[in-house]
């Protein structure tokens, strides 16, 4: 078992601690779970392997799980989202970390492997990499595993594919599909953080611009909503007719990408699929168009095709690569086509991750208690956990709500008048 | 079998025909289904009993079903939403109608009974009255029935109660729960039509006002969204913590009704439950507060309590009743607490009902074909039907969308990278 | 002097009284002016001629001016905006009325003349007709006139033309240009009431539709804002580059009408100019496009050209005329191209007109006091009056605001630091 | 004459050049002016002193003015908005620079003095410091000056105070008050950049939060609009009743700061006045409230009072100071109460500054040509310049608009019908 952390530079810890401390002040649900559980050490004896975007909010989760008694090993779920100062602080806090910003492909893979080699009993995955490697290359570690949680739409898709082939070896809770997750994290989290990342990188006006949002799932809805809120005209591209009608009724232009590619000033892919922006689209695009991705993997923009078409490629500002065409046209790709909110920003707001990571925490406690009874499938988060997180959030922000009277409950359950 | 229509005044038919004709021009999906199916008479031999809000769009549905070969008998699902001119026109078109505007309670009940006495094989219900009476008082007509469709959230709740008691005797398709229905009808339909009805009745400014929306389901979301779009401040009341967080994150104030009742200029209930606004709230309300309901039944505002508190009650303008308190305070109730969009307006926009009623049509065809295979339960609308309606809508408004490439399909179904 | 009212039907008075009473309850600033001034009869001896849209809110103004001591004669400023029941009620209240709904051209002109023949000392004009006729055809009545007020952008334009030719014979206060008027009446009033009128007439969904708003002045801004708030895509056409940039930055598509005419589902002209929609645009329009005007005069849509192009013209629903082209295409014109919010609805909300008409009242008092000192020009409303109306409005809705400290006042007036 | 630049570190130039180059690519109006004028050197012989926020867009202006023939000396208008790399690049480009990030008070004053000591003939001021010092302490340089331009609302206020005391010695063009400036720069520029700066600093969710915006001028309108667009609840505080009604009608809560201070999660002052947030407000505020300023000077938040109340003060993250109270409550002040969009971000988007700085350029050319004819007053920007900038902007973004026909022009200028 290898538990020797690998990070960039342990001297960066102080900055990391400041970030973690600021984030934790804004994660009241996690703090409340700490209060409820930390003295009981309910995760004592567990070994948790985490693969998440390794920045301050994630660090708060790792620390809490450790406070609840677990051994925690963590790696980053995207090469550009890892923050080296946060890693250094986490190591000082006793967490085992395998991650650094912008690693080579070999390093990145090695980090995932090392994390699994800590012999976890529980998994927190983001995008499905840990689970995929476990089932493909690290099957020797499968036996210890009681279950896990998946944080993303992309990861759920991969898990369902695994389940469909009857290969999944332990229960996985679909944290992404909990209401208290996707309604807020995918929509308001992605919606805001994508523009925090983009605006911070380009310093251009959004008002008046035409923004093409590809994909009108919950993340895409959030991105489109915020684009509109910032004064943009929004074009949505979709493959699903129902979502397309929804985008249309929400006041957005809807058209195929081949058409949209002519009009966009900024393109944001958020589909979870590959090759959304390809050669034929690059050809259509206006000079100066800006391309960003907010989907989990950097496969939505076909960078290979773009590189082949360009006569010159240069980094012209932090996180902006300029691809120049023979005819002088330039296309700008942000953050190498990786999750722009994390690679060019600090990711989702703290209060949003507070809800998502509180779900994670409660799901891990649930898995520990119930894993023997659970099917080795992709499972929904129990609704009690889901409502608990929302209830705690409401209390934290000081919002009270009504409750049903007995008379009203009766009314809801009666079919006669 | 009693098929002699009962309506208010057959001389009103011309006005009704104009309304129906205008509506049908704006129901392209229904028109397309007419094109596809009318020559084949796929509903020949069927007897369809409909209970829906009896205005022009509903008339289009009734007429289409008749064109598809069915015998159609129809009644209204709310005493104030029936339009007498539309009824007259429908009778001229050959549909059997039992309905008039503002009937007595006895008349209203009689209309429902008469409709069932036509011995239907298929049911289209809105709020669950036909199905409820069938199971309670008209069981002799149960045997002919192949199945039915339910249009509303309220009706689904009642059906589920019936199903839970194992009493449901035929398959019911939950049309309300189809994406192509609730995403659009409940949200954009209710959202717009509630303000069409209210504004038309009160001629007051919405901008700046505080509007309390009770219930943040899909209808409530629509109402809150449009209130905001008209410049109001919105307070949402809820009993569900997740929906409450959603309202909070959507930028609305969230609080218990006991608190909200102090601030509202206009109250709109849209919960599907009873006694949302009661004595304790009326006491809190400001002088001049306006009360409207957009839920299915007129039970959300406790009018009895209000009447008991008031020293004077007078109709001061069409669809506005003024309740005067001893201290001089006045509260205004719109449309007797019945669905304000239908009782004080023309109901949902035509294009919205086009989708809902196209679902109804396709579901009736489906029931006819498949009823023997179906469980006597509340069933989901098949997703093919759901997507077909959205696809037809997109074609009608001239919107094209993308489709997945084989490579993309593969990607979505693969768990390895 | 002719003071015998001419109206449609005095038996309609009761309905008119109900409307006036409802409106007045929602005009707290007017009510406060009544309280302040009615016992003093400050307008005693004045004869006021009013040309305004003759519906309930206007009736409240007329009644107040009478209560303040004036003799009041009134006519309607648009043939389709006059409400006969309101006229009947006003006559019962002692106001002299020359107006009816949908008069012939001769009648309409006669009403204007009759109103001037009451020999007014003060004028309230809306669109400039009274003032224009006075200077052109009724110069014998000029001598009595102390001054007047103009309510609309269109009227101000005409007054400035008159002033430019040095023909204006008495001071006119540009009520339209007061902040407490145009910021609210033109923007929120027109914005809301245009859709109240349109929606009530067409019962179609606004969400998703493409709405072309021609003119991005304060009225146009209001219409575009509400269209967006109802879920529409908005195209703005403009002739002024600064307003065009504003529309662009507000997130709207901006293009010439020749282009926009291809895309619009609904066209709303609000320019104050003529021939905004003409033959070449009608040719471009989609089948089923709907045309409405919200500018003062019915000259913005070239109905003559449309009529010449159409092979058939029919009224297909109240306030909807269907123009059918040889190729089967139909265009629908609402309310004969007259102000759609007034001709097909009840006009601006009461609280909005409360501010505008309170300005009118205070301006008339000001004119009476100061007319000898005033230049015979188009004059700004004194800022004390402007701020007073906004202050009273705030008090009426219970809103308190801050005031500057002496230290802050000093700071604002100092150029050193 | 002292023309030796004083900057932080000339080795930072490369990063500065990248920033300037990126900005200039997004300033098409400036580029067009370069094309039109640079070969003619119309500013040859002029010496221009600039005091502006010294970052990349400003550098583009300085460079252009130099390209047009002028000698250019520049300093920063706020100690925290100066970017040292941009200064280094500017020096390499030949511009004389006196500025560095976070200078001492003495250094800051010295920079202003040095800039004036270059003996300018034209002034570009931002907040009024150059002009104020010129009239107070550097009167020996007044004689050379032909005129100047002021960029901000605050500066205009100071100039008007100077004018009122009849002390202003040369014509000043109120660039801030040009439509092409304040409609866009103050509103969309400030609106977006304030949240770019804040979000980037705090990484918290805006959706659901209560944001108190103090001041509903054009900047405040922009901030409130974007806060709403990001999902916040907005409270506006005002001293002007008309602006207060506007905020109210825009759907915002309006109340005195003493009340608002209890509810705010984030406070943003944008009044141009002093002591907006003071002791009594700090006492009311919730634990964790965040305070930011977007007004020109750091006087809007009374930091002295806050420091006196706090028992502990610490920098807890870049640009965040934590003030801890005896009772444990914490208030967080961003960017030391200085313009948060510039001190904690890159300031306004490039396209926005393109318009503002194009106005500056054209105004300087105008001053050079016309200074002898101009009164020594605060003057409006000629409307030809204003419209030219908006027209060029439209061309740059590819937007075409309509123009008035002769017939329409006639109509607008006629008072008869």
Q: Which CATH class is domain B10-181+348-396?
A: alpha beta
Residue B168 CA to its chain's centroid (Å) = 22
- Which residue in D342, D336, D302, D339 sits closest to D322, CA to CA? D336
| pLDDT tens, position by position, C86-95 | 999 999 999 9
**CA–centroid distance for B244 within its chain:** 24
D1 falls in which pLDDT band (50, 70, 90)?
Answer: very low
Phi, psi of C360, rounded to the nearest 5 degrees: -55, -50
Contacts of A288 in chain D (CB under 8 A): 25-26
pLDDT in tens, B124-169: 999 999 999 999 999 999 999 999 999 999 999 999 999 999 999 9
Number of neighbours of residue B374 by Cβ within 10 angstroms: 16
pLDDT of residue D413: 87
Domains B10-181+348-396 and B188-343 share a fold: yes
* Beta-bridge partners for B148: B123, B172
- In this structure, are residues D363 and D149 in contact, taking their beta carbons and an 8 Å threshold? yes
Residue pair B358/B387 in contact (Cβ under 8 Å)? The answer is: no
- Summary mean pLDDT of chain D: 96
Residue A1 in this model has a pLDDT that exceeds 50: no
For B184, the closest of A158, A249, A259 (CB atoms) is: A249
Mean pLDDT across A151-169: 94
Burial A101-122 (b: 16+ CB within 10 A, else e): bebeeeebeebbbbbbbbbbbb
Position A413 scores a pLDDT of: 87
Q: How many CA atoms lie within 13 A of C196 on its CB side?
A: 27
Residue D371 Cα, gap to closest chain A Cα (Å): 34
Count Cβ atoms below 10 Å from residue D39 Cβ, excluding itself: 10
Q: Which residue has the higher pLDDT, A415 or B25?
A: B25
Q: Write down the pLDDT at residue B3.
A: 66
Q: Mean pLDDT over residues D253-282, rounded?
A: 98
Chain C, nearest residue to A245 by Cα: C208
Predicted confidence at residue C413, as pLDDT, reads 87
Query: C127 CA to chain B: closest CA distance, Å?
Result: 23
Evaluate whether D56 touches D314 at the Cβ level (below 8 Å).
no
pLDDT value at residue A416: 78
Contact A351 D229 (CB under 8 A): no
Q: Answer for the pair D358, D30: CB distance below 8 angstroms, yes or no.
A: yes
Tell me the pLDDT of chain A averaged across its residues.
96
pLDDT of residue B1: 44
Cβ-Cβ contacts under 8 Å between B and C: the total is 104
Give the distance from residue B45's alpha carbon to the nearest chain A alpha carbon, in angstroms: 30
Q: Which residue is closest to D231 within chain B, CA to CA? A: B251
Determine contact, residues A185/A351, Cβ cutoff 8 Å.
no
Mean local confidence (pLDDT), D92-114: 97
Q: Which residues pair with C332 in a beta bridge?
A: C290, C322
Nearest Cα to Cα of residue A253 among B232, C233, B248, C183: C233
The CA distance from C237 to the nearest CA of chain A, in Å, is 15
pLDDT tens digits along A39-96: 999 999 999 999 999 999 999 999 999 999 999 999 999 999 999 999 999 999 999 9
What letter would DSSP give residue C251?
A: T
DSSP 3-state of C218: helix
- Say yes or no to pLDDT of A403 above 90: yes
The pLDDT score that the predictor gives to residue B413 is 87
Q: How confident is the model over A347-362, as pLDDT tens digits?
A: 999 999 999 999 999 9
Give the domain ranges of chain B. Answer: 10-181+348-396, 188-343
The pLDDT value given to residue D407: 95
C3: confidence class by pLDDT, cuts 50, 70, 90: low
* pLDDT, tens only, A259-313: 999 999 999 999 999 999 999 999 999 999 999 999 999 999 999 999 999 999 9
Q: Is B231–D208 a contact, with Cβ atoms under 8 angstroms apart?
A: no
Whether D257 sits inside 8 A of C402 (CB atoms) is: yes
- Provide the β-strand partners of residue D290: D266, D332
According to DSSP H, which parts of C330-382 are helical? 340-343, 350-370
Q: What digits encode the pLDDT tens for the residues D18-64?
A: 999 999 999 999 999 999 999 999 999 999 999 999 999 999 999 99
Supply B338's token pair.
Answer: 């019945």
> Which residue does chain C place closest to A246, by CA atoms?
C208
- Residue reference for tokens 């009408």: C257
Cβ of D390 within 8 Å of Cβ of C179? The answer is: no
Average pLDDT over residues D268-290: 97
Mean pLDDT of C306-330: 97
Average pLDDT, chain B: 96
Chain C positions in Cβ-Cβ contact with residue A231 (cut-off 8 Å) = 249-251
CA distances from D332 to A341, B158, D313 (A): 24, 52, 10
Q: How far apart are the first and last CA of chain C?
A: 66
- Residue B142: how many other CB atoms lie within 10 Å: 12
ipTM for the whole complex: 0.95
Q: Average the pLDDT over B22-50 and give the result.
A: 98
Whole-number mean pLDDT of chain C? Answer: 96
Express as a percent the part of chain D with pLDDT over 90: 98
Residue C417 binned pLDDT confidence (cut-offs 50, 70, 90):
low
Strand order in the sheet with D378-379: D96-98, D71-76, D47-52, D122-125, D147-150, D172-173, D378-379
Q: How far is CA B267 from CA B257, B333, C24, in A?
A: 10, 10, 21
Encode pLDDT of C272-285 as tens digits.
999 999 999 999 99
Architecture of domain C188-343: 3-Layer(aba) Sandwich (3.40)
Which residues of chain B does C201 touch, with a Cβ-Cβ cutoff of 8 Å? none
User: Confidence class of residue A417 from pLDDT cuts 50, 70 and 90?
Assistant: low
List the single range of A300-304, B277-281, C343-347, C397-401 with lowest mean pLDDT. Answer: C343-347
Asked if residue C258 has pLDDT above 70, the reply is yes
């Amino acid at each position: 078992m290898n538990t020797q952390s690998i990070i960039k530079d342990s001297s960066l810890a102080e900055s990391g601690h400041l970030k973690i401390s600021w984030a934790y002040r804004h994660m009241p649900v996690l703090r409340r779970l700490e209060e409820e559980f930390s003295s009981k050490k309910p995760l004592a004896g567990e070994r948790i392997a985490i693969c998440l975007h390794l920045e301050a909010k994630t660090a708060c989760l790792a620390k809490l799980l450790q406070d609840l008694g677990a051994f925690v090993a963590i790696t980053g779920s995207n090469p550009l989202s890892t923050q080296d100062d946060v890693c250094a602080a986490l190591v000082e806090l006793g967490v085992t970390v395998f991650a650094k910003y912008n690693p080579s492909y070999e390093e990145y893979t090695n980090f995932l492997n090392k994390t699994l080699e800590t012999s976890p009993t529980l998994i927190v995955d983001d995008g499905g990499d840990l689970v995929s490697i476990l089932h493909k290359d690290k099957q020797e570690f499968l036996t210890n595993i009681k279950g896990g949680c998946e944080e993303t739409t992309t990861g759920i898709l991969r898990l369902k594919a695994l389940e469909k082939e009857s290969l999944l070896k332990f229960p996985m809770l679909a944290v992404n599909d909990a209401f208290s997750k996707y309604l807020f994290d995918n929509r308001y989290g992605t919606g805001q953080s994508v523009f925090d990342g983009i605006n911070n990188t380009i310093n251009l006006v959004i008002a008046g611009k035409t923004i093409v949002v590809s994909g009108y799932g919950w993340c895409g809805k959030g991105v489109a909503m915020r684009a509109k809120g910032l004064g943009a005209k929004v074009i949505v591209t979709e493959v699903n007719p129902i979502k397309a009608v929804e985008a249309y009724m929400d006041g957005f232009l809807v058209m195929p990408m081949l058409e949209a590619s002519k009009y966009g000033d900024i393109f944001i892919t958020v589909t979870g699929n590959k090759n959304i922006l390809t050669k034929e689209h690059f050809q259509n695009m206006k000079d100066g168009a800006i391309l960003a991705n907010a989907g989990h993997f950097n496969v939505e923009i076909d960078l290979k095709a773009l590189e082949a078409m360009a006569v010159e490629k240069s980094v012209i500002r932090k996180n902006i690569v300029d691809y120049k065409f023979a005819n002088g046209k330039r296309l700008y790709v942000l953050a190498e086509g990786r999750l722009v909110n994390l690679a060019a920003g600090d990711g989702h707001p703290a209060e949003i991750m507070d809800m998502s990571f509180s779900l994670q925490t409660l799901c891990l406690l649930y898995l520990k208690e119930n894993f023997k009874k659970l099917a080795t499938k992709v499972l929904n988060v129990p609704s009690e956990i889901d409502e608990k997180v929302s209830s705690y959030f409401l209390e934290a922000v000081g919002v009270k709500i009504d409750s049903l009277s007995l008379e009203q409950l009766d009314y809801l359950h009666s079919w006669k008048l």
